Amino acid sequence: MTHLICDLVFMVGGFIFAPSLMFSIKRKVKMPATTSLPTALVLTAFVGCYIALGLYLAAFATTLTAICWYILYLKRK
């Protein structure tokens, strides 16, 4: 039961972060590489940890958030 609660909490967090980053993506905000790339890489590592722990909903939501950060990194050029 504890894993399910953690999975849901992390999933909700991911689903809050990803849409909030969409505003930065749409507004063509140029995020510094020192912010966007490390954040994307750490979130990608979190996804691997979530999968290893069986927290698949959290992994999915965090994947979406990481993708947003990678987009922000790529848009800075």
pLDDT in the model for residue 45: 97
pTM summary value: 0.87
Give residue 42's domain range.
Answer: 2-75
Domains in the chain, number:
1
Q: What CA–CA distance (Å, rounded) separates 50 from 62?
A: 9
pLDDT in the model for residue 76: 75
pLDDT in the model for residue 24: 86
Q: What is the pLDDT along the chain (77 residues), one digit of tens a residue?
A: 688 888 888 899 888 888 888 888 888 778 888 999 999 999 999 999 999 999 999 999 999 999 999 999 998 76
pLDDT in the model for residue 1: 63
